[in-house]
Structure 1
Amino acid sequence: MKKLFTLSILLLSITAAAFARPPKNQYVRIHTTYGDCIIRLYNETPLHRDNFIKLTKKGFFNGTLFHRVIQNFMIQGGDPDSKDPVKAKPGAELGNGDVGYTVPAEFRDSLFHKRGVLAAARDENPTKASSGCQFYITEGKRFTDGKLDTLENTRLKGRKIPVWQREWYKTVGGVPHLDQNYTVFGEVVSGIDMVDRIAAVKKDKNDRPATDIPMTVELLSKHECKQLDKILYPQKK
């Protein structure tokens, strides 16, 4: 009986430990009138991941606009000025707001601007440090080998795109000329059609949507993150 009791306690401890184990990835949901998307934040870019989580917990992004959209390229948001009724009045150019700090660049060879990635906007600075709050999600387009060759010799100044990334750009699409210039720190795992809808809206000369597109951003719960991890990244047996 004592052995059985000890075994039961051990099993309960193992179960409890498994339940308490944090999810492998943190996911966020972006909600707009054009639908929702769910984004996985990359663990490979911890500074950007943690900063985005911090701002999301504060509700910083709620009410900000997707203030710059370019079809076949990207949709950009996160400017705090876009919540200000004066600074964001119709026709006003947005994109200059910030939080008073930048995030050091976190370039990784394995992370690139394929369709649906979350990346940090920035101004022109020598270290390519990211804006503390503004971000974009790529829509992108598909490329041929010929167009990628031309891109390497012009905008990439001779930098070669890895073969496996070329396959992504040819079949899924993306924005290769941004690679190693802007930090990629997440990717859409559900709801990419939201990005396509927003990218296609009517806009003004500053690429601001003619009708405001506010967002709300929330962290998914640990349970939701674990469930997504199981679905998207099942453990190998």
Structure 2
Amino acid sequence: MNRIICIFLLMLAVIFTVSCNDSASKNKISKKEKEAQALAKKEDSIKQAKEAEAKKEEEAFKLTDENAIPFFFEYQKKHKENRVKVHTSLGDFVIQLYDETPYHRSNFIYLTKKNYFDNTYFHRVVPDFIIQGGNTDLRSTAEKRMDIGSYLLPPDTKKGYRHDRGTISMPSSDNVNNPHKLASPYEFFIVVSDPGAYHLDGKYTAFGKVVSGMDIVDKINQVPTDDGEWPMKNVIIDSVQILD
């Protein structure tokens, strides 16, 4: 009998020891997990702080005549996109941007990523000649320009591109102090003339071409306008989508 009692007590001792070891092991694991969670939380906080700081710096950055060219010189190296789809109230069309005009291409991509063109208009329509977009009479457009910055781009007219039908080009600024025909970066025009508007060559920078949906461009070019070449009913650019 005593032997049975001893065996029973021994078994209880073993069970108690295993239980204690398991409990200690669980506590140990739990402690490690807590340390890992705390470290992960700290890393997330640091990451969020860095992202917030980067966003703050990006929002504070404004383009000027002095920094625009250095900025786009670096920007075009990292942002190689050159095809966009323009969604308008009258339909969509696709533009291929020329890699050989890097400042104008990257400027268009930059403004697209900033959602600048969203809810702007084709504000100038000249039948059988051009349609011009990127402006409105809305305060919101002026505010977006203020947020992005005030700058002009130098012409880039010696790459061999002509103002053929479907060409997208950049108008020069209306600023009276602009003898070198520096381009207004927020606007663009598309040639509708067939076969082209070659008297514009050498004066304005052709930086892309409509590769799909030219019928929509023609449709926009046919809308009624007032005496100032502004459409009687606004032709809205709903958005510009980067394809690749």
Same topology, TM > 0.5: yes
2 CA distance for matches of 1:140 and 1:123?
22
Deviation at 1:25, TM superposition (A): 5.8
Contact 1:139–1:174, Cα closer than 8 Å, also in 2: yes
**What amino acid maps onto 1:217 in structure 2?**
V
- Measure how far apart 1:123 and its partner are: 2.7
Which string of whole-angstrom CA distances, capped at 9 and with x for unpartnered residues, describes residues 76-121 of structure 1?
0112x4333899xxxxxxxxxx951101111125201000011001
Q: Pairwise CA RMSD of aligned residues?
A: 2.3
The residue number in structure 1 matching 2:213 is 191
From the CA coordinates, give the structure whose radius of gyration is larger: 2
The 1-side partners of 2:199 and 2:170 are apart by 15
Give the residue type in structure 2 aligned to 1:126: P
Alignment of 1:1-237 (within 5 A): 26-79=82-135, 81-84=136-139, 99-123=149-173, 125-141=178-194, 173-215=195-237, 216-220=239-243, 225=244
CA deviations over 1:121-154 (Å, ceiling 9, x no partner): 113622221102111011013xxxxxxxxxxxxx
Deviation at 1:210, TM superposition (A): 0.4
Residues matched between the structures, number: 158
Equivalent position amino acid for 2:197 in 1: V
Runs of 4 or more off by more than 2 Å in structure 1? 22-25, 81-87
- Check 1:82–1:218 CA distance in 2 against 1; reply closer, same or farther (3 A cut): farther
* CA offsets 1:18-37 (integer angstroms, 9 cap, x no match): xxxx9986101111121111
Higher relative contact order (CA 8 A, sep 6+): 1
State, as a whole percentage, how many aligned pairs show the same letter: 41
**Any stretches of 5+ residues in structure 2 without a counterpart?**
1-77, 143-147
Question: TM-score, length-normalised on structure 2?
Answer: 0.60
- Summarize the Cα distance change of 1:203–1:110 in structure 2 as closer, same or farther, 3 Å threshold: same
* TM-score normalised to structure 1 length: 0.62
Q: Which is richer in helix?
A: 2
- Structure 1: 5+ residue stretches without partners: 1-21, 88-97, 142-172, 226-237
Matching residue's letter, 1:84 = R
The aligned residue for residue 156 of structure 1 is none
